Amino acid sequence: MNIGRKERERRMRREMILQAAESIFARKGYSGATMEEVARSSEFGMSTLYKFFRSKVELYSAIIDEKLSRLQESLAEVKEMNLDWRSAIEHFVQEYLRFFQENTNFFKIYMTEKFGSNYESKEELYARAKAQITSYVERAESELRDWIEEGHLGSSGARARALALLSTIETYLSRWLEEDSDTSPDEQASFIMSILFAPANAAPVGTGE
């Protein structure tokens, strides 16, 4: 669908604001960030910023909503491939790693909200943003559990394996950020799969050992 020049400019400005805000929230957290800093970083005036987002919490919620939507779309494509259970899980891991390695600022926000125990704001939108992450984790865990059960690995341990897999991926991503590793998502996914599904054949890849 073709869009006019004004709409293209509007979308571009909105994206610039979101990118600037994402970087600031990743560095300073929700409570440490300010709308004034977002305006300066995006090189827009406060009036322009408030045309797009009426408050800091609305801006924060928009980042989480849009990024999670993109991640879910990416992972949904894996489900549509109708792969065997092991290939499906490995593709899931690859896409998960690839997405967060391309969106490192969002990964920092995601991890903060996933493990944060206290709301920094009592506003409804903030609570909804945290709930979105909780909901996403539950859906991801459910999809992994289904594939694990399909592989006849035992339904009684499927949920534990799914949660362990998500935890392993996120731990690997955190280490990747710290070490600035050049190991590809495909290589990382293969190693993670070897840890959880074929430990006897595990061959360390890009671990820095």
Give pLDDT tens digits for 78-88: 989 989 998 99
List every span in the chain annotated with CATH 1.10.10.60.
1-54
Which pLDDT value is given to residue 204?
Answer: 45
Q: Can you tell me the distance from the alpha carbon of 150 to that of 44, in angstroms, rounded to the nearest whole number?
A: 52
CATH, domain 1-54, list 3.30.390.50, 2.40.33.10, 1.10.10.60, 3.40.50.150: 1.10.10.60
CA distance 14 to 118: 29
- Read off the pLDDT of residues 130-151 as tens digits, 9 standing for 90 and up: 788 888 989 999 999 999 888 7
Contact 201, 193 (CB under 8 A): no
Q: Residue 154: which pLDDT band, with cuts at 50, 70 and 90?
A: low
Instruction: Return the CATH architecture of domain 57-201.
Output: Orthogonal Bundle (1.10)
- Other CB atoms within 10 Å distance of the CB of residue 63: 21
Name the token pair of 8: 């293209």
Residue ranges matching CATH 1.10.357.10 in the chain: 57-201
Amino acid at 84: D
Question: For residue 169, what are the CA distances in angstroms to 20, 44, 97, 110, 129?
Answer: 27, 37, 7, 13, 22
How many other CB atoms are there within 10 angstroms of residue 57's CB atom?
A: 20
Query: Looking at per-residue confidence, does 85 or 120 come out higher?
Result: 85
